[in-house]
Amino acid sequence: MADALLEVRGLRTHIFTRRGVVKAVDGTTFSLARGETLGIVGESGSGKSMTCLSILRLVPEPGGRIVSGEIRFEGEDLLAKSPREMRELRGARIAMILQDPMASLNPALTVGEQIAETLSLHRGLRGRALHHRVVELLRQVRISDPERRALAYPHQMSGGIRQRVAGAIAISCQPSLLIADEPTTSLDVTIQAQYLRLLKDIQRETNLAMIFVTHDLGIVAKLCDRVAVMYAGRIVETGRTRDIFDRPRHPYTIGLLNCLPALRPGREPLVAIEGQPPDLAHLPAGCSFAPRCPLAEARCLEEGPSLDAHSSDHLVACFRADATIGLRAARGAVTVPLVAASDGEALLPIRTPSRTTAAALTGTTDGDRPSAGGGRDPDGSLQGRAIVLEARGLTKHFPISRGAILSRLVGTVKAVDGVDFVLRRGETLGLVGESGCGKSTTARLILRLEQPTGGHILFRDRDVRQLGRAELADYRRAVQAVFQDPYSSLNPRLPIRVTVGEPLAETQPELSRADVDGRIAESLERVGLRPRVASDYPHELSGGQRQRVALARALTTGPECILLDEAVSALDVSIRAQVMNLLRDIQDRLGVSYLFIAHDLASVKYVSTRIGVMYLGKLVETAGSEELYVHPLHPYTQILLSNALPSHPDDAREEVVVRGEVPSAFNPPGGCRFHPRCPHALARCAAVEPELVERAPGHQVACHLYGE
């Protein structure tokens, strides 16, 4: 690229450890023009973040080293610069935004002081000029009341505002290049949409070049001009965004696209890339993707392909790229059993229909899988099934007190405020909404980790607060949970056998050792893990395998209901597809019910049969999955869907910009709690709280726009 701002050629960054040399970046080549956005995508451990850290010469020490290659920025060789020269360049000409703003912001300094620090160091600003520039930057990143916010500390701000502050620091010195490493991963769908729109506006105003590192292809479709797909430290395909989505040529790229759920009618199975990425300290000979590739031939196992041009501005590193011409990355593709990677030998195939290699990539399918026990009603419910769990007027208020000795009540946080729902056998109820709306508190109430302030939780028509000891033990057995981070929910000091068998020891202590071992092996096989995994420890498994272990632990007691609290949000797109397919497969076979909590709307639609939308502790709309996405009624639901990420650059939808931030549950607005942010608010909305009323068969909404 003749007018390239950044050129990276043959970059190799290795980390020297006791177990060997980890080839974190292994021959990466790409370029970036001024004003352009390059998206770098791939599974965890593919080298995305390490590539960006190498550009800034911030590889981890000791052990990390850039062993070869060239990095040229504005014509200058960054690898030839001294440490002092790099310190002067970072922040001034190349800036970076990290995933967690709290990790990059100092909790002991106000945000104004932290922005001023960068300006003082690189631009020499002082006094009134410095203060004006700080306020101007906060206003530029769309933070309201910037004079007051400049005096606030990071902990006094929401996650979205903190990420905007990190952005203000990054652009403070008007850099030419901004590197954004997963900056929206922890943000809600509405805040994420606002932040992406903000980055695009700033780029348009300043002609800023941007590298956006992400595992979410929806962000790439929405934001990026070009895409680089990384696998095992190398770029395996790169090109214009639309070209990559319309005509992917590398089997890995096609696999990633097939893993992406979409907000479209139907619930066809996703195609998961089986196996795991290779160990970067022990890369296989030849193409690193060959052990997982359905098109691999003998040459692929012996020789590594080079990144060659197959069309204008479209480069692919694959010997079989011509064999993928005309194949599409379609919804509903059904995969063939693939050869597992080195640490993927513990995986078993999960009822995968037989297909040819071509069918695996073309996306052909026989349609949706039948549900266990028969079809569903048109509204997505299973009215003929027995009710497993029911909430009636469920309420949880947390009192707020002040004073260490003579404490006094100063208020109440209304985390959950009158929630009603029914969960039937074999049904999945999805709960969506922004952070702080009460989803996880509802789950904790069901698990009896919190005691409700009011209302009832009914299990088999019995209030769980009135259950005796034996009945309560049965409830503990029947209602299990899987949480977001499997590593934090698994004891690192215990082998998988003990972890998976622990619920049995608590709920059925009369079982013999042989019975327990048999149940453990059965549960592991149900989630696609070989029984030998029982001897492993959590750190010896991949993220996807650890989440399967967490699910196996929940299945050992034969539960009737499993609460899944953001259980797939921390997983790579390929592992997420595996786990979501697994959840549906288990439900089809065992008839277990799920309460599925997530902020990814496409994942919720894929897994759920019915969906409830929560806002500030209340359900504002419930409907069947298909009905809700096709005919959303509540303005809040419409805004969530309009801000959802597209699955293709052509899936453009008119975004509705939501006003302001989510109010505090400590002092929620009167009337309809959404009315201060609602684009269609009526005078009545501020005075009268709407009731959740059925406006169509199986479709309930709490909104005055649909009055009598």
Strand bridging mode 308-311 / 314-316: antiparallel
Which alpha helices (DSSP H) does 311-366 contain, by range? 357-362
**pTM for this one?**
0.82
Q: Packing angle between helix 127-140 and helix 111-123, nearest 10 degrees?
A: 120
535 plus 597 within the same structural domain: yes
**Do 402 and 439 have their domain in common?**
yes
Q: Looking at the structure, do residues 414 and 338 belong to the same domain, yes or no?
A: no
Identify the helix (H) or strand (E) that includes residue 500: helix 496-507
pLDDT (tens digit per residue) in 568-608: 877 778 888 888 888 999 899 889 999 999 888 888 999 99
Residue 511 lies in a domain: yes
Same domain membership, residue 348 and residue 398? no
Two structure tokens written together for 652:
């453009």
Q: Within this chain, do residues 526 and 403 fall inside the same structural domain, yes or no?
A: yes
Residue 341 counted as domain residue: yes
pLDDT of 385? 81
Is residue 8 situated within a structural domain?
A: no
Mean pLDDT of the chain: 85
Among residues 362, 397, 415, the one where a domain terminates is 362
User: How many domains in the chain?
Assistant: 2
Residues 569 and 494 in one domain: yes
Same domain, 554 and 422: yes
* Domain that residue 393 falls in: 387-706
Q: For the segment 185-244, what is each residue's pLDDT rounded down to a tens digit?
A: 777 788 888 888 888 988 988 899 999 999 888 899 999 999 999 999 999 999 999 999
CATH value at residue 544: 3.40.50.300
Domain match, 554 and 472 both: yes
pLDDT for residue 693: 94
Rounded to an integer, what distance in angstroms lies between the CA atom of residue 572 and that of residue 574?
Answer: 5
3-state secondary structure of 449: coil
Regarding whether 691 and 610 lie in a shared domain, the answer is yes
- Concatenated DSSP letters for 571-639? S-HHHHHHHHHHHHHHHHHH--EEEEE-S-HHHHHHH-SEEEEEETTEEEEEEEHHHHHHS--SHHHHH
Please indicate, yes or no, if residue 130 is contained in any of the structural domains: no
Are 281 and 429 part of one and the same domain?
A: no
Q: Which helix (H) or strand (E) holds 207?
A: none
Judge if 572 and 515 occupy the same domain. yes
In a domain? residue 269: yes
Whose structure tokens read 């080293």? 65
**CA gap 236, 64 in Å, rounded:** 23
Of 312, 346, 362, which one is at a domain's C-terminal end?
362
Residue listed under structure tokens 């593919």: 46
Of the residues 362, 397, 421, which one is the last residue of a structural domain?
362
Query: Is 485 found in the same domain as 357?
Result: no
> Is there a domain that residue 99 lies in?
no
Within a domain: 595: yes
Residue-level pLDDT at 341 = 33
Nearest residue to 241 (alpha-carbon basis) of 226, 258, 256, 263: 226
Q: What pLDDT, on a 0 to 100 scale, did the predictor assign at position 18?
A: 82
pLDDT at 620: 96
Q: Is residue 371 part of a domain?
A: no
Residue numbers of the chain with a pLDDT score lower than 70: 1-2, 326-384, 404, 652-653, 660-661, 708
